Structure 1
Amino acid sequence: MKRTTVLAAGAFLVGGVTYLAAEAIAAFGWTDRPYSYARNNISDLGIPDISPWHAVMNTGFVVDGTLFVLAGLGLSVLFEGRARWIVLGTSVVHGVGSIVVGLAHASVDGASAPHAAGAGMAIIGGNLVLLAAGRYGGRVGAPRWYTIGSAAAGVLGLAGLALFLGDTGILGGGTFERISVYTIIGWEIVTGATIFAQRRLTKSR
């Protein structure tokens, strides 16, 4: 197993866990009123005027985005031709979008144009990475359960985004937004863990 692949796995794991930890800390420190994962948007945690731990959440966005770009670069070398550029391109779009979200936080009056653009890049780009993993993962030895799961998660994430933007009122807006984001975060962690597990299995043979 290439060293770049192992480093990519570590970046995915650290990035995903960092994001979840930053979100949990910022939500726990919410003092104005109880923070609701179902009703409140994720970006609310990064607004200085209403989130005491906004710096933690925004740092989580930036760290995860940066590590995702690096991980995508590390994994892209496993592929050839168009697949390589699709994996790398979608990873960069997601990572840069996440960084923009952290640097150009929203406000109580709504999301600024840079923040909205960054969020769109992060969510759409990230779920396209999942679809790419489902389409091309088998070429580099990924197990079938992983490729099917990646593709399914990507479809679910994009569906969650559509429902969030549609403001259907079926569930709280935060629920659908989190569906569109947690598919990516969950995939990061599963991908990192899967790579490490395969590496350990290979060494034991």
Structure 2
Amino acid sequence: MKDQLFATLDTTVRSLELPNGRQSVISDTVGFIRKLPTHLIASFRSTLAEAADADVLVHVVDCSHAAFREQIAVVHQTLEDLEIGEKSTLLVLNKSDAIAEDERNQLEIEYPNSILISAEKGLNLDVLLLTMQQAAERGSTTVSILIPYSEMNLLKTIYESGEIHSRIDGDDGSTIEITIPHDKKERFMRLCGVYVQK
């Protein structure tokens, strides 16, 4: 593996189990840099466009870096430019073990909704996972639907719309319990809303 800045702009995707046992997919995009070379801007933005599909954005910042506040501002502005600045975002201040206690205390005041962690030492990773779980749950709706056998053509759409918790085939059709992210809910309800069980 080469140690070169932007040797690749590919997104790394990993599976992650949240504390409630829910399987999640984590997409790790390329890091931000100020004054990105012009020839990389389009590629950089296209990798970040994947963030539009996320239930939760987790913005990890090296809080021991001298210019981390500027980096936070650059990320925020880029997300605004991509029109996804309103997405649920967790600010994670990594390498908190590398700064003095009074600096950590100041960061907790300055960024009250942030999570201070040390990935290297495993500090507060449990808090991060729980907070990610809670944010994902706030950004979704769980419903039970009864799909008649005559409408089985909707199954592909249903399975692509969210996380399936159960499917029970009965006399009248398939009863499916599904958690749907809010950004997919409107389309889902338009196609399948008539089948939602009250």
Q: Same fold (TM over 0.5)?
A: no
Larger Rg, first or second structure (1 or 2):
2
Please report the TM-score for the alignment, with normalisation by the length of structure 1.
0.27
Structure with the largest fraction of helix: 1
Structure (1/2) with the larger strand percentage: 2
